[in-house]
Amino acid sequence: MNLPVRRALLSVSDKTNLVPFAQGLREFGVQLLSTGGTYRQLQDAGIEVTEVSEHTGFPEMMDGRVKTLHPKIHGGILARRDLDTHVQAMEQHDIAPIDLVVVNLYPFEATVAKPGVTRAEAIEQIDIGGPSMVRSAAKNHDAVGIVTAAEDYDAVLADMKAHQGALSQNLRETLAMKAFARTARYDAAIHRYLASVTESEGDFPDQFGMTGQKVMELRYGENPHQKAAFYHTPDTGEPSVGTAEVLNGKALSYNNLVDLDAALALAKEFAEPFCCVIKHTNPCGAAIGKDLGDAIEKAWSGDPVSAFGSVLAMTRPVDMAVAKFLVEGKRFVEAIIAPSFDADAFELLTTGPKWGKNVRLLACGAFGPDARLAADVEVKKITGGFLLQDRDLASEDAAAMKTVTQTAPSADQLDELAFAQRIAKHVKSNAIVLTGDRTVYGVGAGQMSRVDSVRMAVLKAGDRAQGSVLASDAFFPFPDGVETAIAGGVVAIVEPGGSMRDDEVIAACDAKNVPMVFTGIRHFRH
């Protein structure tokens, strides 16, 4: 049923497009009620509006904490117009019906994302009256419209225009569903914050809630027969795929998003000019260069065949050298994520090659190792539940490596091993990475046997395996892995250690005078 909107209550923290929306409501003859800053902005704009305190006959108090928690507000919202007892109660207590509620909540999520915010500051941004009105209106959506985001203003006015000042049942139902999703996200954000600043038994809260806002429907999921959508969770303040600006290209696919997230996670390990080439979430190439043009050439050399249709991440703004390398070399990539894109590089990338209009370019803003927030967590869904863990932000530099062989690595080898280890962290287990000159030469990923991962990495590296160093994400359970690596040309090895056969593994290195270092930290990635 289409129901006329005669009276609307507007109380918004985000005042984007507030004035034109209110003007649109007034053109339909809607009486406006409002509070605080919303009331003042409407009044300053010359829009006829009644303050809530005048409507209720009760002043705002306690620094605005109590202003809309009143029977004349909630009675006007919650009353069922089809029940005589409700209508009689409204008449008896002089409660006027409120047909439209426009509320967006105090910016709690944005507040707690700010560095150095205090608990007291966060608590003050917990909205009480707002969610109460939102839930009241959403519950009574058979009679009341509820708007919680400025993006819905146009839809409301268009619906009213189409129905001579009334709101359709379909729109009221849609808005109510969005309203409950909004309050769920809001409450989940408050819970996550309080759990992060409140001491409790165990490392994780007894309850964990996660909600998201749908960004887009995807063409399909991992495979064409699977449906999928992309949801954005509340901003953590860290550059991410979810907050990046899409500057160009076809709509992002499910697999694009997964690969871009993996690429950016690896790039965040490095402060230097760095590029990684990601295929199926694994780096098939990665390198530090003297500049970004140098880095992409070295990274692409890791596995040029696998690099076809890859996703790239870079730690510096994409410049003309990078664009020319890709375009003039007719190298096809699906997507690139970087802090930004120089104007001339952007033009070449988007107009030069045949795939220029399709390649996805994402700008995420400047980042580096310090951008990674330890407070964020990783969630993995399994049937019947989900797993929660903190992020693997451990990064072993040369100083953290313990030499366990008779031969010690050189200073340069230690730095190379540290580079290789940071790459191995982002390779699917069992992970083996061969590098040299701060460049990935070969990767063995996802094999059930570690020695098979070694064979794959040596095969991928080819001639460059000679003189390379090797990083393993976990210990070698038997000497065969290091024996295969040394036979392939590896000259130094880093691994966590911890095997029952560590002595045998170390002995295999000593037999060939190959230095091995232990980190004591495993980096499985399943």
Residues involved in catalysis: 139, 280
Q: Which residues contact 78 (CB under 8 A, 6 or more apart)?
A: 136, 139, 140
Beta-carbon neighbour count of residue 273 at 10 Å? 18
Cα–Cα distance measured from residue 134 to residue 360, given in angstroms and rounded to the nearest whole number? 38
Distance separating alpha carbons of residues 266 and 394, to the nearest angstrom:
13
Place of tokens 């994400």: 473
Radius of gyration of the chain (CA): 29
User: How far apart, in whole angstroms, are the C-alpha atoms of residue 56 and residue 53?
Assistant: 5
The Cα–Cα gap between 329 and 340 comes to: 22
Q: Helices in 198-243 by DSSP H: which ranges?
A: none
Task: Determine contact, residues 349/341, Cβ cutoff 8 Å.
Answer: yes
Q: What is the 8-class DSSP label of residue 399?
A: G
The H or E element that residue 214 is part of is: strand 213-218
The verdict on whether omega for the bond into residue 430 sits within 30 degrees of 0, i.e. cis, is yes
Q: What is the dihedral of CA 365, 371, 374, 379, to 10 degrees?
A: 30
CA distance 174 to 437: 57
Residues in the chain: 526
**From CA 471, how far away is CA 497, in angstroms rounded?**
12
Query: How far is the C-alpha of 466 from the C-alpha of 375, rounded, in Å?
Result: 41
In the Cβ-directed half-sphere of 263, how many Cα atoms lie within 13 Å?
Answer: 34
Residue 39 vs residues 52, 88, 370: alpha-carbon distances, Å: 9, 30, 42
Confirm if 492 and 417 have CB atoms less than 8 A apart: yes
